[in-house]
Amino acid sequence: MIRLRYALALCLVAACAVAEHDLARLERSFWLNASLASPTLGYWGANFPKPQRPTDAEITNAARILTRDAAANRLYLIYHHELPLEAVHELLLSWRKACPPEAELVPTLVLRMYDKKQTPVFAADELVSLCDFFKSQLHVRHIAVYDVYAKRDQRAELALLAKHFPRGLLRVGLQPGEPLTGPFVAGVADTWSGFCHGRTNDDWRSPGFGAETLRKWIAARNSGTAPVAWDLVTVAWDYSATKRGEYPGYDDANKNLPLPAGRNQLAAAAILAAAAPGKLAGFSSDLLILQLNSASAAHDGTRGAFYETLKQGRSYDGFYAGPWREIMVIYQSLRAGHRPPVK
């Protein structure tokens, strides 16, 4: 009887948490490269060729897929100096024209490269110029910093950005256990290891596997001061190397598999049930990792990679199409003010 009462109490708490979330107003975002090019120049180093700027028609195609079909209400458009500043001005204005007014665009900057020296991507005067453009011509409320490494020393750059956007600086790629503190006012949490841990969904729900990890992360963020959006995942690690889907010890774009069917739906339901109202910003999804893994010759190859399908304005039906479509359904349900389905 005690166990039954406890279970009923948990169900009641979960139901109340879901009821208090304004589902239609939750963040439904993606993060991707504004240039629709795989990151090299200004990301891994300074000696890579410049990518070709997408045409306005290609940006229109991508915006239609992401905001109409995939129901996004926010796009984090990553810029890492792969194009000159003047070119990115035109590029972002093209994104703004292509997206519906209700879709928020958040310019998202990579401040440090991922080379051994962690070279700064922008000079101080370039950051000032970008911030002036973001405010005066793009008219954005928020900008973001993208980094998948925790606690890198970016204090000087952050102070400069916070001066221009004192209540509008966001953090994309927030790592588990990494505090979300000033100058950031909200963030997007990386969930990869919590979502991937488990070959089957029964494995994922087992003690010590991904679902338990995710619940611990949510509880920790509930005690924080800033709202967090949680990353929905398309690309999982390689399950062939372990018995029950434990981490294989490597991240290999040639071997990484799609996230198991239904995993995003289960995780979204768990997040809605456990996240405290006011601490849940919503959901996001990393399309950069989808691009990099789909572009592998072992999967879709360069011509079939995700960004190419966006530019062509066609539905992605490649190697990772299953979890991608699942995320689309989750976003479409939230846009309609409904709880996402759980299979």
Kindly report, residue by residue over 216-226, the tens digit of the pLDDT: 999 999 999 99
CATH of residue 109's domain is 3.20.20
Report the candidate in 249, 287, 324 with the shortest Cα–Cα distance to residue 39. Answer: 287
The residue among 151 and 256 whose pLDDT is bigger is 256
Residues ≥6 apart with Cβ < 8 Å to 274? 14, 17, 215, 218, 219, 222
pLDDT at 19 over 90: no
- What pLDDT does 10 receive? 41
Classify residue 18: in a domain, yes or no.
Answer: no
Domain of residue 201: give its range.
26-335
Residue with tokens 């401040």: 111
CA distances to 36, 84, 237, 253 from 115, in Å: 21, 20, 23, 19
Classify residue 160: in a domain, yes or no.
Answer: yes
Structure tokens at 132: 């002036």
As a whole number, the mean pLDDT across the chain is: 94
Of the pLDDT bands very low, low, confident and very high (cuts 50, 70, 90), residue 153 is confident
Average pLDDT over residues 312-319: 97
Of the pLDDT bands very low, low, confident and very high (cuts 50, 70, 90), residue 8 is very low
Residue pair 237/193 in contact (Cβ under 8 Å)? The answer is no
Classify residue 341: in a domain, yes or no.
Answer: no
Average pLDDT over residues 101-109: 98
Least confident of 6-20, 183-197, 264-278: 6-20
Classify residue 168: in a domain, yes or no.
Answer: yes
Average pLDDT over residues 205-211: 98
- What pLDDT does 119 receive? 95
- What pLDDT does 148 receive? 93
- What pLDDT does 279 receive? 96
* Residue pLDDT, tens place only, 69-103: 999 999 999 999 999 999 999 999 999 999 999 99
Classify residue 1: in a domain, yes or no.
Answer: no
Least confident of 4-8, 86-90, 185-189, 200-204: 4-8
For the chain, the first-to-last Cα distance in angstroms comes to 29
- What pLDDT does 18 receive? 43
Report the candidate in 205, 227, 228, 225 with the shortest Cα–Cα distance to residue 215. Answer: 205
Classify residue 236: in a domain, yes or no.
Answer: yes
Classify 278 in phi/psi space as left (phi over 0), alpha (psi -120 to 50) or beta. Answer: left
- What pLDDT does 14 receive? 45
What is the number of domains present in the chain? 1
Classify residue 164: in a domain, yes or no.
Answer: yes
- What pLDDT does 9 receive? 40
Of the pLDDT bands very low, low, confident and very high (cuts 50, 70, 90), residue 146 is very high
- What pLDDT does 6 receive? 32
Report the candidate in 2, 17, 12, 78 with the shortest Cα–Cα distance to residue 271. Answer: 17
Q: How is residue 258 annotated by DSSP?
A: B
* Residue pLDDT, tens place only, 223-249: 999 999 999 999 999 999 999 999 999
Report the candidate in 116, 165, 98, 167 with the shortest Cα–Cα distance to residue 136. Answer: 165
- What pLDDT does 5 receive? 41
Classify residue 177: in a domain, yes or no.
Answer: yes
Structure tokens at 238: 């390689």
